[in-house]
Amino acid sequence: MQQPRQDPFGWIDEEARRRERAGLVRVLRPREADVGGDGAPLDLAGNDYLGLTRHPEVISAAGAAAARWGAGATGSRLVTGTTALHTALECELARFCGFEAALVFSSGYAANLAAVTALAAHRDGLVVSDAANHASLVDGCRLSRAETAVVPHADPGAVRKTLAAHPGRRSLVVTDSVFSVDGDAAPLTALARVCREAGAALLVDDAHGLGVLGDGGRGAPHAAGLAGAADTVATVTLSKSLGSQGGAVLGPARVVEHLVNTARTFIFDTGLAPAAAGAALAALRLLEREPGRAARAREIAAALHEALTTAGLAVARPDAAVVSVRAPSPGAALRWAADCREAGLLVGCFRPPSVPDGVSRLRLTARADLTDRQVAAAVRTVLRTAPADVWATARSSVVHCAE
Ligand code: PMP
């Protein structure tokens, strides 16, 4: 075969070398199958906030769904990909969270792309987006081709100003309910007020709120009194608190009907696998039966925060189950997470470009099924493995906050 005159992928090696120099290389590491069993590492890296992904009822619902409906959905939701499980999940999810209707997608990412594009795609559309929003909302803004104004993080005043500068536009304000990087909550009540003043719609990505915030885990919009509001839409993932896979958009029935007819990630995507729908439905029913799981996840997050800050680390106050610990550099964060892993504790590691402010962090997940003893062991490991320069960073960020 004829050789190309120039290597068309040479630039990839160049980029790889740049990543290597900056300590930003990412590698896939298959995890052990039985995390949580005897001698297995303690998992504070996943998003299984309520400890439901390995719950026997959830696993058996997944198996039963696959046995009854097959391993895959076989087609898009509008063709053959809707089963009775999808419909039941949509009804129960909407009722539980307090919304009129729900629509299930193959992922939370797809749900966010759908919600933003279907609600903002208009030549007169304006999207006002928080600077710390999740990548899936950011991509939704890009795909919508609407004018997007990125506003400073958690700043309803900036949202008000932006909306006021564009009177008469079809406007959508988009925000995470709980931000994945620092675990802080959006000022939903103030944002809703600002939206109503300007006649804008509000879209809340409740990926980290469902199952953790609100009465019995009904989510952040429910806690803020926004569930079921005519101008509010929420998205959720089924892959965190509900221990499964998939996503959903919740909102007024006419919004859901609009999505069924226009959202490309709904129409052109194969439906969620029945096993995932069955597992999410079982997890939702469990959460309804055992509402204490939500409060327990919050309690554990508060305990982690208290212990780590008391010891002198810079830890953002968690508003839900995400506990974020600052690290001095991407390399230090990576080493710290590796040392934790070596010591039997799995923690997440956030580095650029996943962090909007360029600050690397360890990310610890509070899980409702952790015992107090496990929480204490996790704290000991994080402190014991903390690199020396982490303490310097922690001290300097305290000074910075005091200014
Ligand atoms: N939104 C937020 C805030 C998330 O953290 C995530 C998942 N990391 C998603 C959306 C996407 O959800 P999924 O993983 O179900 O695609």
Instruction: Answer yes or no: pTM beyond 0.75.
Output: yes
Q: How far is CA 270 from the centre of its chain?
A: 22
Within 10 A of 84 (CB to CB), how many other CB atoms are there? 11
Sorted by where each begins, the domain ranges of the chain are: 56-289, 291-397
Gyration radius (Cα) of the chain, Å: 22
Full strand arrangement of the beta sheet holding 42-44: 42-44, 345-350, 361-365, 322-326
* Nearest atom in ligand 1 to 247's CA: 15
Is 49 close to ligand 1, i.e. is its CB under 6 Å away?
no
Within 10 A of 286 (CB to CB), how many other CB atoms are there? 18
- Best residue among 105, 133, 134 to mutate for probing ligand 1's pocket (most ligand atoms within 8 Å of CB) is 134
Q: Which two tokens stand for residue 256?
A: 């859901």
CATH code assigned to 291-397: 3.90.1150.10
pLDDT tens for the chain, 403 residues long, are 788 889 999 999 999 999 998 878 888 988 878 655 667 899 999 999 999 999 999 999 999 999 999 999 999 999 999 999 999 999 999 999 999 999 999 999 999 999 999 999 878 899 999 999 999 999 999 999 999 999 999 999 999 999 999 999 999 999 999 999 899 999 999 999 999 999 999 999 999 999 999 999 999 999 999 999 999 999 999 999 999 999 999 999 999 999 999 999 999 999 999 999 999 999 999 999 999 999 999 999 999 999 999 999 999 999 999 999 999 888 899 999 999 999 999 999 988 877 877 789 999 999 999 999 999 999 999 999 998 888 766 655 543 322 2
Beta carbons within 8 Å of 267's beta carbon, 6+ residues apart: 76, 77, 78
Q: How far is the CA of 207 from the centre of ligand 1 (A)?
A: 6
Is 107 close to ligand 1, i.e. is its CB under 6 Å away?
yes
Fold designation for 56-289: Aspartate Aminotransferase; domain 2 (3.40.640)
- Dist CA 395 CA 342 (whole Å): 26
Residue nearest to atom 12 of ligand 1 (CA): 108
Q: How far is the CA of 10 from the centre of ligand 1 (A)?
A: 33
Residue nearest to atom 15 of ligand 1 (CA): 108
Q: How far is the CA of 14 from the centre of ligand 1 (A)?
A: 30
Is 235 close to ligand 1, i.e. is its CB under 6 Å away?
no
Is 247 close to ligand 1, i.e. is its CB under 6 Å away?
yes
- Dist CA 9 CA 101 (whole Å): 47
Is 350 close to ligand 1, i.e. is its CB under 6 Å away?
no
